[in-house]
Amino acid sequence: MKVSSVNEMKAMDRRAIEEFGISEELLMENAGRAAYEILSREWGISGRRYVLCCGVGNNGGDGFVVARHILSGGGIPRVFLFGNPDRLRGAAKTHFAILSRLSVEVKTISDAQTLRQAVIHADGIVDALFGTGLDREVDGVYRKAIDLINASGRPVLSLDIPSGIHGDTGEILGASVRADHTVAFGLPKIGNMLYPGFELCGRLHVSHISFPPSLYDDKAIPVETNGFIPLPHREPTAHKGSVGDVLFIAGAAGYFGAPYFAAMSLLKAGGGYARLAAPSSMIPYLATRGSEIVFVPLAETTEGSLSLKNRDPLLSAARRVDMVVIGPGLSLAEETQGLIRELAAGIEKPLLVDGDGITALADRPEIVRGRRAPTILTPHPGEMSRLTNQSVSEIEKERIPVLRKACSDLKAWIVLKGAHSLIGTPGGRVFINLSGNPGMATAGAGDVLTGTIAAMYGLGLSLEEAVRKGVFRHGLAGALAAADKGEDGITAQDILNYLPYALKEDREGLDEEISGRYEIPVIS
């Protein structure tokens, strides 16, 4: 599903009106009707008392439509207007005029205390204060109203986005409504999909409000959710070399887990041949954990990391495989960092760079930019900071613009890891991944991700599809682990162990409960 910015949605509204003759009043009517359907389905209408908190913009206009439908359905709506009704314009003004002719209580308030008693006695609350146009800190009567709504204990439906959430970033602008359900109009906005906005939306729904598909499927909108990608059929004649032969260059003294998890995850995710090039002193230990891995012992520095002497043997080994993964647990030793740079410049196969490999290349972007074969980078926010020379806080506020620029500058596919990991392409597209859970924030989880992506490429997906599928499968494995064990205490080993089950779910069709977490329901 496409995900729009605030300005992209404004353009869609304008096109619907100007190109297709769908009036603003009709779009607002459709939005309000969709919200009413959620109220009816979730909490009922007849005899139910609803408080509607409405601003004087179009979000408030949507609320006026909801109030009218509640009245028609036998419910009891009470509308609290925040602001002077003389400020209403366009369709919002029209729908307010209609509402004013009906037996609906409408109060214009300047003091949130006026709202208190109504909220206490309400069966539900409709949040129609701001919508997606908010770009300033919430204060005054609005902040007090939001605090009252959140403290009420009543179920809340937010229209388009919880009031107080920035529509393009998902950040909280001082204070935000915590909704039980949110219905996004046209398309979900970026702020609906990124944390903390996503969490505050509660259960997210979408109504296309009668937009023609050419509007909401527009290829000019570069952001979308990371949807389902079917896996290629595994041929009866498949052998280990035909379903992914990958070289992992990983490991250093004190970092035994990273190389193991990276290489073993390829096999657990369906890949055929995992070759692990690691310091020779580590291999006896690693072999006791992963005897299915093929080991390539390498020369070490005095620090126990990979020596620059390994350059030519590794370049030779890279020519014989489908993909190379470099970086997990390699250390920040100066000689090893130099080796990474030389290998990245010389390897002519698809290259996935993670962990210490990203650090080695962060101040040498020309190496990544100059590669003839595709490059995949999988940074966490700290590593992204080194890649972009921006602070972590700057990145977190502008995740999508920062990611798009980095992908374009480096001509690379980049997975920006975090809550709802983002997948960026050199062409500027961004995919928001919904699978996973907070329990996956654990050491080694990123190493499992690298091997899972490599496995997807080995199974026959295109590079872009492999990255997207790998990120989704990794999150799905974590979700299956959490379903059995709970989120607390999940380890990288748990995610690794559940990769085959994630593959089974994938092949056989996702369980309805699981698929429901990753699909946004559409209301006609």
The model's pLDDT over 434-453, given as tens digits with 9 standing for 90+, comes to 999 999 999 999 999 999 99
Question: Do 377 and 316 belong together in one domain?
Answer: yes
Question: Do 261 and 403 belong together in one domain?
Answer: yes
**pLDDT tier at 112, thresholds 50, 70, 90:** confident
**pLDDT tier at 492, thresholds 50, 70, 90:** very high
Question: Do 205 and 258 belong together in one domain?
Answer: no
- Identify the three-state secondary structure at position 435: coil
Average pLDDT, integer, range 224-247: 92
**pLDDT tier at 507, thresholds 50, 70, 90:** confident
Domain that holds residue 339: 245-505
Question: Do 211 and 250 belong together in one domain?
Answer: no
Residue 270, pLDDT above cutoff 90: yes
Alpha helices per DSSP H over 73-180: 90-100, 113-120, 140-151
- Cα–Cα nearest to 271, from 297, 298, 232: 232
Question: Do 332 and 457 belong together in one domain?
Answer: yes
- Let me know if residue 513 belongs to a domain: no
Q: Which residue has the tokens 């006609």?
A: 524
Question: Do 161 and 262 belong together in one domain?
Answer: no
Q: What is the pLDDT of residue 198?
A: 97
- Let me know if residue 228 belongs to a domain: no
Residue 152 gets which letter from DSSP?
Answer: S
Question: Do 206 and 250 belong together in one domain?
Answer: no
Question: Do 169 and 255 belong together in one domain?
Answer: no
Asked if omega into 77 is within 30° of 0 (cis), the reply is no
Average pLDDT, integer, range 231-239: 91
How many whole angstroms from its chain centre is CA 373? 27
DSSP 337-405: HHHHHHHHHH--S-EEE-THHHHHHHT-HHHHHH-SS-EEE---HHHHHHHHT--HHHHHHTHHHHHHH
- Let me know if residue 229 belongs to a domain: no
Please report, for the domain that includes residue 104, its CATH number.
Answer: 3.40.50.10260
pLDDT digits (tens, 9 = 90+) for 190-212: 999 999 999 999 999 999 999 99
Q: How far apart are CA 412 and CA 368, in angstroms?
A: 8
Q: What is the pLDDT of residue 420?
A: 95
Question: Do 90 and 194 belong together in one domain?
Answer: yes
Q: What is the pLDDT of residue 228?
A: 87
Residue 514, pLDDT above cutoff 80: no
Residue 198 gets which letter from DSSP?
Answer: H
Question: Do 189 and 332 belong together in one domain?
Answer: no
Number of domains in the chain: 2
- Let me know if residue 384 belongs to a domain: yes
Q: How far apart are CA 294 and CA 189, in angstroms?
A: 46
Backbone angles phi, psi at 471, to 5 degrees: -65, -45
Q: Which residue has the tokens 């998902």?
A: 170
- Let me know if residue 236 belongs to a domain: no
- Let me know if residue 265 belongs to a domain: yes
Please report, for the domain that includes residue 376, its CATH number.
Answer: 3.40.1190.20
Residue 513, pLDDT above cutoff 80: no
Q: What is the pLDDT of residue 511?
A: 73
- Cα–Cα nearest to 133, from 95, 161, 174, 175: 161
pLDDT digits (tens, 9 = 90+) for 295-340: 999 999 999 999 999 999 999 999 999 999 999 999 999 999 999 9
Lowest-pLDDT range of 79-93, 457-471, 504-518: 504-518
Lowest-pLDDT range of 57-61, 112-116, 453-457: 112-116
